[in-house]
């Protein structure tokens, strides 16, 4: 049984979320065995618990990418310097954070190879060979891969030198088709985040200064974290013909004219894991959405030595009934039940099922929800349907809770004074007018560290008010926040 | 309908397998859109058809790795030079083929970073922190990742500078447990290759000169390709305490003694794809085992303009009935049926279903097997069960055919003259006696290019005969072959 002293000790190890969000975050990620730092600056190891979460995220997103007609492929890790340099804005954006290979085996290389920070350059050089005729279009390809960006300041999952992601790269016959694809994938990210990660997002277009290096337009989904800061959780770019022109990706159209293709690219990464932690976690650790949780239900037997065999047997029997879920039976004899409660709570497992001798007599189990910590007494005969309903409830409740949090932390104001106060105190999203001037945007950023997260898709149609910074009539409404 | 002239033209594009196996192989891989060369020396792009095959191979192997108690994780791409150098044999084996990162962003690095050629060094440095007590053991972890080896001569899938693989890395309390794990994973590879890839393999231990750099023992599965050369298709290493000692991976055992762990590692890679091509392919292209084929059944409608709607509708209707299989409906209007037959045959799709107006009248379909090219007339009502049975039959028949080929191309002889003749002509496996002397092994390799592929697990118990090279009494029986 739980030895109370020990349990408190155990929970105390986590920094309080409200006291120091940043410390709390690192504590949660490390102590739940999701990831850890390594001897290589900025590179993390994703441990089995974190990787199982990533596998579930990846599989759920991969299914959607395939359902929208894309196929997976794999392109080289290396980008020759000459290729990376072809698109001027692109190289300007990425060159400062590239890791360079200069030697292969015993020979120095004639040309330096960048380790892909993103794969537009290498993929476009290959697409140039694949695309000849309008019949070859569209090209709808996605890649799951590791990428490297030499970051100065890193944080587990949120910003690491190496990370895992998917990057879609498509070619189209017309601008309209490329734009449709760009928005379609933005929609896929949005639906995916909301359904699977229980993560409500705002979505819209990035400003010129915030867009992807080399893109014509960038769109993003943005989520509000527990500390009131925004996290960019997925981006979708309309690349226009920027890359097609420099990489010479041309096709002979039906009208016998040679034309450049129109392209898109879009990506989401292991950063999503950080988002899940920061959006749902609490002082007791992780709270994982059931749909992606590596363990959905954990059984903890409660026994004294004389009841051990009976209880363990019952736990195995009930565990088998839940084969449609991801179930863990915690039969470790080296830990107390109380210690196990705390550990699985910290690991964010949605449902804990407790089985003790008294429960067996009453033909019931005790189920505890991680999100609300509510305790339910459930007849054994109703275990399967109760678990099914509870997991579904938790998924919805977590989304609703996060949505409420965002709504409570989103303010509409065009008043710069009020805006500054908000950004210095509780933060959150602020919806403001913006004149469209990059100078105003830069001034706000410099003075408050807040950036325009996006121009919502209908942001230039609705009531616009006045520019937050200069007070002139606004061109559109924007979402601002301090961001990760 | 098929225009015969065109079809011949189309098939002629493939080099004949018997005329030039090596050209045939590259032709098949490139023309079926599995993979292609890129501008980066030795690096390939795995195209959607090849990648879909890899996904099926990966998923089938991943399931087995998890079922044997392993969990996936992800470790850094980079190995600091000082870590790679710790294990002397290991660095000697790998340093000549390492790609080195010497610059990160705008700064030269203080220490060069190797791009992992394999991850023992980086993983062991991390395990040293994870392992403290016997309670932490065993550690059973696998990683799916890309690795880079700077190869001088490359060939699509079989030997490329960058490739994809899985690498398992485990730590154990005793030698016996590590040895058991090593052999267990060898068994997993064997069962996987035979069941999923229809690839019969011989298996056993590598000689000293052929073992993994840093291992105490290396075991491998070896398959015989269509040209009589062997392909190493998976390896499993008992690392002993070589790495534990230099990376200081120690644990406090139950007896309060500090001890070094015993380790294993094991891997299989995209090379398996090359093996599948070379083992099963024929003059018409790929022949894919149904269990891993990206497309298991392709429907080709056969119609004139007046019957098009009826036929296409029927194809869609029948296609839906086969939802348990991976099905493609080839409804392209730009290609003739004959052209499609050839293309899907080249792509190795196990079953082709032809549907024409006459078939619809007779309520039947025509099914053609890729492996035997046998043509069957099947009542519509029996389509699902027939497809199920045929796919299962094909999988078995392909394995049996490959096994027969291997048996017909395996000779037992201790006569060096006969051996040389075999290696100069039809090749295949030769089972011989070996005195155990590395000099004899080296001489055979130099004079015939054949190597000892493995000492079968029971190779030192059975009748041994005389050493192939020196004629002295043999220590054990070995399999020799020229290998990829």
Statement: residue B424 has pLDDT above 60 = yes
How would CATH label the architecture of B21-280?
Answer: 2-Layer Sandwich (3.30)
Residue A458 has what pLDDT?
77
Supply the CATH classification number for the domain B410-482: 3.30.110.30
Which alpha helices (H) appear in A281-365, and where do they start and end?
A: 308-321, 337-346, 357-361
pLDDT value of residue A147: 98
pLDDT higher than 60, residue B12: no
Residue in A with minimal Cα distance to B148: A77
CB pairs under 8 A between A and B: 139
Residues of chain B positioned with their CB less than 8 A from the CB of A75: 38, 45
A72/B48 Cβ within 8 A: yes
Per-residue burial over A212-247, b if 16 or more Cβ lie within 10 Å, else e, is bbbbbbbbbbbbbbbbbbbbbbbbbbbbbbbbbebb
In chain B, which residues have their Cβ closer than 8 Å to the Cβ of A44?
A: 76
Shortest distance, CA B334 to any CA of chain A (angstroms): 10
Give the pairing type, strands B410-412 and B230-240: unpaired
Instruction: Quote the mean pLDDT of chain B.
Output: 95
- Give the residue among B263, B284, B267, B285 at the shortest CA–CA distance from B276: B285
Q: Which residue of A has its CA nearest to B98?
A: A105
* Phi, psi (deg, nearest 5) at residue A313: -65, -40
- In angstroms, the Cα distances linking A71 to A120, A396, B271, B417 are 17, 31, 21, 52
| Residues in chain B within 8 Å Cβ distance of A98 | 105
For residue range A187-217, what is the model confidence (pLDDT) as tens digits?
999 999 999 999 999 999 999 999 999 999 9
Residues present in chain B in total: 484
Residue in A43, A106, A161 nearest the CB of B96: A106
Angstrom distance (rounded) from CA A113 to CA A84 = 9
Question: Cis ω on the peptide bond leading into residue B138 (within 30° of 0)?
Answer: yes
pLDDT at A41: 87
B287-315 average pLDDT score: 96
Task: Give the CB-side neighbour count of residue A130, counting CA atoms within 13 A.
Answer: 26
Indicate which of A50, A58, A59, A73 best probes the interface with B, i.e. most B CBs within 10 Å of its own CB: A73
| pLDDT at residue number A5 | 40
Q: Which residues of B touch A168 (CB under 8 A)?
A: none
CB-based contacts of A454: which residues, under 8 Å, 6+ apart?
A202, A203, A204, A205, A206, A219, A220, A222, A478, A479
In chain A, where the domains are located = 21-280, 297-390, 410-482
Of B35, B37, B58, B99, which to mutate for an interface test with A (greatest number of A Cβ within 10 Å)?
Answer: B99
Q: What is the pLDDT of residue A3?
A: 38
The reported pLDDT for the residue numbered A372 is 97
End-to-end Cα, chain B, rounded Å: 42
Which residues in A176-257 belong to E strands, given as ranges? 202-205, 217-224, 230-240, 250-252
**Considering only CB atoms, which chain A residues are within 8 Å of B101?**
99-102, 115
Indicate yes or no: CB of A77 within 8 angstroms of CB of B148.
yes
CATH topology agreement for domains B297-390 and B410-482: no
Q: Which two tokens stand for residue B461?
A: 């118990």
Candidates A31, A50, A65, A77: best to mutate against B (most CBs of B within 10 A) is A77
- Name the least confident of B414-418, B421-425, B460-464: B460-464
Rg of chain A, C-alpha, whole Å: 25
Q: Which residues of A touch B47 (CB under 8 A)?
A: 73
Closest Cα of chain B to A198: distance in Å?
Answer: 24
pLDDT band at B5 (very low <50, low <70, confident <90, very high): very low
Tokens of B54: 């890899």
Going from the first residue of chain A to its last (484 residues), give the mean pLDDT of each consecutive group of 10, the final group possibly shorter: 43 83 97 95 96 98 98 98 90 91 93 96 97 97 97 94 98 98 98 98 96 95 97 98 97 97 98 98 97 98 92 97 98 94 97 97 97 97 98 98 97 96 96 96 97 89 85 95 97
Quick one: what percent of chain B has pLDDT higher than 90?
Answer: 91
Mutation choice for A interface testing from B42, B50, B73 by most A CBs within 10 A: B73
pLDDT at residue A462, as a whole number: 67
Query: Do the Cβ atoms of B434 and B475 come closer than 8 Å?
Result: yes
Q: Please list the helix, strand and coil fractions of chain A in percent, rounded to the nearest 5, in that order.
A: 40, 30, 30
8 Å CB contact between B466 and B433: yes
Q: Which stretch of DSSP H or E encloses residue B481? A: strand B476-482
pLDDT at B462 over 80: no
Q: Which of A176, A71, A178, A87 is nearest to A125 (CA)?
A: A87
CA angle in degrees (0–180, nearest 5) for B194-B197-B199: 50
Q: Identify the pLDDT of residue A235.
A: 98
Smallest Cβ–Cβ distance between A146 and the set B48, B146, B150 belongs to B146
Q: What angle do CA A170, A175, A177 make, to 5 degrees?
A: 60
Find the mean pLDDT for residues B130-159. Answer: 96
Res B103 pLDDT > 70: yes
Q: Looking at chain A, how many residues does it have?
A: 484
Nearest by CB: A100 against B45, B80, B102: B102
- Run of H or E including A413: none
Contact: B45, A73; criterion CB under 8 Å: yes
Per residue in B171-225, pLDDT (tens digit) is 999 999 999 999 999 999 999 999 999 999 999 999 999 999 999 999 999 999 9
A55: chain B residues, CB-CB within 8 Å: 72
Q: CB–CB of B40 and A146 under 8 A?
A: no
Q: What would the mean pLDDT of B53-58 be, rounded to a whole number?
A: 98
> Minimal Cα distance from B50: which residue of A?
A73
Looking at CA atoms only, how far is residue B21 from chain A in angstroms?
26
The CATH code that applies to domain B297-390 is 3.40.50.800
Q: Give the C-alpha separation, A145 to A164, whole Å.
A: 6
| Torsion angle, alpha carbons of B49, B52, B54, B60, to 10 | -150
Distance from CA of B57 to the nearest CA of A (A): 14
Would you call A334 and B71 a contact, using CB atoms and an 8 Å cutoff? no
Vertex B143, ends B141 and B145: CA angle to 5°?
Answer: 170
* Phi then psi dihedrals of residue A465, to 5 deg: 65, -145
């Amino acid at each position: 049984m739980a030895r109370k002293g020990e349990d408190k000790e155990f929970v105390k190890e986590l920094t309080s979320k409200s006291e120091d969000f940043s410390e709390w975050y690192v504590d949660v990620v490390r102590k739940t065995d999701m990831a850890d730092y390594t001897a290589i600056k900025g590179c993390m190891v994703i441990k089995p618990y974190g990787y199982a979460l990533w596998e579930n995220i990846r599989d759920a997103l991969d299914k959607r990418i395939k359902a929208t007609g894309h196929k997976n492929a794999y392109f080289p890790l290396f980008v020759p310097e000459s290729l990376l340099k072809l698109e001027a804005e692109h190289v300007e954006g990425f060159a400062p954070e590239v890791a360079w290979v200069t030697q292969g085996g015993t020979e120095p290389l004639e040309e330096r190879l960048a380790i892909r920070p993103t794969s537009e350059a290498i993929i476009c050089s290959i697409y140039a060979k694949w695309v000849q005729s309008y019949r070859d279009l569209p090209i709808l390809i996605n890649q799951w891969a590791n990428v490297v960006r030499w970051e100065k300041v890193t944080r587990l999952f949120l910003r690491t030198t190496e990370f895992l992601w998917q990057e879609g790269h498509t070619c189209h016959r017309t601008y309209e088709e490329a734009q449709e694809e760009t928005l379609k994938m933005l929609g896929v990210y949005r639906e995916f985040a909301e359904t699977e990660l229980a993560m409500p997002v705002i979505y819209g277009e990035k400003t010129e200064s915030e867009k992807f290096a080399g893109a014509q337009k960038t769109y993003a989904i943005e989520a509000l974290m527990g500390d009131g800061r925004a996290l960019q959780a997925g981006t979708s770019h309309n690349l226009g013909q920027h890359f097609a022109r420099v990489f010479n990706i041309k096709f002979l159209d039906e009208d016998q004219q040679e034309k450049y293709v129109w392209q898109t690219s879009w990506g989401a990464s292991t950063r999503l894991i950080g988002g899940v932690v920061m959006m749902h976690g609490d002082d007791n650790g992780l709270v994982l959405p059931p749909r992606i949780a590596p363990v959905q239900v954990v059984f903890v037997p409660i026994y004294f030595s004389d009841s051990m065999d009976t209880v363990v047997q019952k736990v195995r029997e009930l565990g088998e009934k839940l084969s449609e879920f991801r179930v863990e039976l915690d039969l470790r004899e080296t830990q107390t039940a109380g210690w196990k409660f705390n550990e699985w709570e910290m690991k964010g497992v949605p449902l804990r099922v407790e089985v003790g001798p008294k429960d067996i007599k009453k033909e019931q189990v005790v189920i505890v929800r991680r999100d609300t910590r509510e305790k339910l007494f459930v007849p054994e005969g109703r275990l399967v349907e109760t678990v099914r309903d509870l997991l579904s409830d938790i998924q919805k409740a977590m989304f609703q809770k996060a949505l409420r949090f965002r709504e409570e932390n989103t303010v509409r104001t065009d008043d710069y004074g009020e805006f500054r106060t908000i950004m210095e105190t509780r933060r959150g999203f602020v919806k403001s007018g913006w004149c469209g001037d990059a100078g105003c945007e830069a001034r706000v950023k410099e003075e408050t560290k807040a950036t325009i997260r996006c121009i919502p898709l209908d942001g230039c149609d609705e009531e616009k008010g006045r520019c937050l910074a200069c007070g002139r009539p606004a061109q559109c409404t924007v979402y601002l926040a301090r961001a990760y």
